[in-house]
Structure 1
Amino acid sequence: MATPSPPSLNLWTVLTETKRIIDAHSWHFLALSFVFFLPVSISCTVYPTLHNLLISDHPLINSQEFFTSSDSAPPHLLLLALALALLVFVFSLFGLGSITYSVFHGFYGRPVKFLSAVNSVRLSFFRLLGTVIACQLIFLLTALVAGLFLFLVIGVFEMIGLEMELSSPYFVGLFIVVAIVLLLVLLYLQVNWTLAGVVSVVEPHWGFGALRRSADLMRGMRGVGLSLMVFFGVCSGVLGLCSSVSYEWRGRDGSRNVVMVVSCSTVVMLVLLYHAAANTVLYMYCKAVNGEIALEIAEEFASEYVSLPFDDGKVPHVVSVGYVG
């Protein structure tokens, strides 16, 4: 029987083991990041600057006519936003699949080369896509249920004679309560589905099956999952803020803006790399805590992490599993 979750198993443990894996095989993971995550980070970093430049150069937007015109945003702005959103989405799934594949198969001592990690995205992309769609469908359904509940409650209140206009304190209070409950439910679901992406890559589960599998693995580990999500969420928020103000910092020759874009893009790429790898490490811990790692593997590597075959002997102690009779 597997031992319960050890007291030291927390956010710091996961981040430390993630750093050890990446540092031990830095060239492999950096190469994958440059191929898949760098386009994502550049797109996210450059878009605010491009958006500001296009708006400042657009004669309609800079005139009073824009505020009275019934036309929507300029077509080239919409096309730019859609193109970058598609690029970010596709390459994010590519990067997630390749990094997860490398960390997971390397943990079991299986040969993992750069080309095999790149080729793995052909199999994992559509599985990850199906899981993302399933996740968003549930989120949408949850939001629709909350909206329907709000509509029904408003109808009941109006039937008993309470004013429920938009400026009414009753409506504002009810809306705040429903919004808070909805956010808490979505947060709970998101924490439960922390490992859904990893499951879609390394197990024969995808879509709703991957969501259920992730929820099962996260039992007893939701605190670590929440900490991980908050940590990388804060990092992403800070980097997003830096990207949004980079346009304001550019010098006359644009050199300061170039430095800001390059710096932010590099850091965003590293955050994406560490987030994908950390989720895979958390998946390993969850399997170990739930006693799903084979006994022979646990006995062979109980005190030592198996090294990745493409970079020998540098990553100790990622997962240690104890068994009692």
Structure 2
Amino acid sequence: MQNQLEPPFPRGSLILQSKICLHSSPLCKAIPQYRRRTTTMSTAPAHTLNLCGVLSEAKRIVNAHSRHFLALSVIFLLPLSFSLIIFPTLQLSLTRSYVVSTKFFVVDPPDLRQNLTIHLLYSVFVYIFFLGAIATITYSTYHGFYGRPVKFFPAMKSLIFSFFPLVSTTIAAQLILSLVSLTFLLLFLVIIKMGENLGFVIDYDSNYFMTSFVLMGAALAFSLIYFQVNWSLACVVVVAESKWGFEPLWRSSYLVKGMRSVSLSLLLLFGILIGFWVWMNSNDVMHFDAVDGWKSWPFGLQVVIGTSLLTVLLLQNTAANTVLYMYCKALHGELAIEIVEEFAREYVSLPFDDGKIPHVVSVVPA
């Protein structure tokens, strides 16, 4: 196959091969005669293993099944986006109602418990809808990448098998990140105590102490980002490979090798866009009064625009992570085996939409 490519393609390029007949393909020799089928592929431009290639492929899959992803977004991402934008205003109004004005600002203990309960319920709400969106959208993008039928009920059914493995994986990741953060904190405290025991006078208000604190915080931040980059495919591994616990974390660290720059780019791109958009809309919404302001049309327009764009960003982020997972498998030579198995299925692919036509992804070395 590689000898037929003229001119040779650079290392890391993805060739979307078109109109491949398995009867004449070398792959067909490895498939039993009774399982051979002819599959028509779409002609598509070559993509490279970079951020633009991941984003364009994710956009293609979402556009090809727009109504399906719209339904999933309305169920999971829309309530999540709305809560992220509106909760700071709701929290502020609740806090003001609980504060008792005396000589100092004191919060009544029963109200404090009620406030903590509200925050706990909100966290559970966000967590459940976030995992639901991850499971269903990842499942749909994974099957859409292969050109398989993408249907609503199978996607919702996949949530049953993926939810608790996702919970265990997120708990495992948070446990490791907490241990890393605790290690940095203890190390910083040990250094301070050792300095005091050696007779050094430490001025906690000095610029030297603040500089040391900032450097330690920066080191911790870079460490957490490093783990996030390596574990960026963990949720996709849970859904696609039915793994759970710590195993998806190690699997993601292996797959992301050679693609860490793309993973970091995705993390920074969507992290900055989503964070900035939530912060900007939350601040704008907080200027409206919780009673009268929420009835005005500027408030409604602000919430609709903010929630809609945030939903799109979350959808594209989830789909892009799934596509990155497929590209990483192609880079490690694992995707070819799955493609052979996909071609060996006993059906004839008769697509009616170019965006839904399956395509072969192969990494061609120089």
Query: Smaller-chain TM-score range?
Result: 0.7 to 0.9
Q: Which residue of 1 aligns with 2:286?
A: 247
Task: Identify the range of structure 1 (15-24 vs 61-70) with the bigger mean alpha-carbon deviation.
Answer: 61-70
- 1:47 correspondence with 2:87: yes
Which amino acid counterpart does residue 150 of structure 2 have in structure 1? Answer: V
Which amino acid counterpart does residue 10 of structure 1 have in structure 2? Answer: N
C-alpha deviation, 1:126, in angstroms: 0.7
Which amino acid counterpart does residue 336 of structure 2 have in structure 1? Answer: A
- Structure 2: give runs of 5+ residues left out of the alignment: 3-9, 14-46
- Structure 1: give runs of 5+ residues left out of the alignment: none
Note closer, same or farther for the CA distance 1:307–1:106 as it changes in structure 2 (3 Å cut).
farther
User: RMSD of aligned C-alpha atoms?
Assistant: 3.0
Distance 1:73 1:180 in 2: 37
Task: Identify the range of structure 1 (45-54 vs 148-157) with the bigger mean alpha-carbon deviation.
Answer: 45-54
Distance 2:201 2:349 in 1: 67
Structure 1 residue matching 2:355: 3-state secondary structure = coil
C-alpha contact 2:147 2:356 (8 A) present in aligned 1: no
Structure 1 residues 199-235: Cα deviation after superposition (integer angstroms, max 9, x where no partner): 0111132221100100101111111001101111111
Task: Kindly report which structure 2 residues correspond to 1:222-237, keeping only aligned pairs within 5 A, or say none.
Answer: 222-237=260-275
Task: Kindly report which structure 2 residues correspond to 1:97-116, keeping only aligned pairs within 5 A, or say none.
Answer: 97-116=135-154
Match 1:120 to one of 130, 155, 158: 158
Match 1:285 to one of 327, 332, 343: 327
Note closer, same or farther for the CA distance 1:111–1:63 as it changes in structure 2 (3 Å cut).
same
Q: Which residue of 2 aligns with 1:87?
A: 125
Which amino acid counterpart does residue 122 of structure 2 have in structure 1? Answer: L
Distance 2:364 2:273 in 1: 37
Q: Which residue of 2 aligns with 1:203?
A: 241
Larger Rg, first or second structure (1 or 2): 2
Greater fraction strand: 2
C-alpha deviation, 1:113, in angstroms: 1.3
Q: TM-score, normalised by structure 2?
A: 0.78
C-alpha deviation, 1:174, in angstroms: 2.4
Task: Identify the range of structure 1 (166-175 vs 88-97) with the bigger mean alpha-carbon deviation.
Answer: 166-175
Q: Which residue of 2 aligns with 1:313?
A: 354
Structure 2 residue matching 1:320: 3-state secondary structure = strand
Note closer, same or farther for the CA distance 1:109–1:21 as it changes in structure 2 (3 Å cut).
closer
C-alpha deviation, 1:70, in angstroms: 7.2
C-alpha deviation, 1:9, in angstroms: 2.3
| Matched residue count | 318
Distance 1:73 1:149 in 2: 37
- Identity across aligned pairs (percent)? 42
Distance 1:69 1:114 in 2: 47
Note closer, same or farther for the CA distance 1:127–1:170 as it changes in structure 2 (3 Å cut).
same
Q: TM-score, normalised by structure 1?
A: 0.87
Task: Kindly report which structure 2 residues correspond to 1:153-172, keeping only aligned pairs within 5 A, or say none.
Answer: 153-172=191-210
Match 1:22 to one of 52, 62, 68: 62
Distance 1:308 1:224 in 2: 34
C-alpha contact 1:198 1:280 (8 A) present in aligned 2: yes
Q: Which residue of 1 aligns with 2:40?
A: none
Q: Which residue of 2 aligns with 1:173?
A: 211
C-alpha deviation, 1:192, in angstroms: 0.5
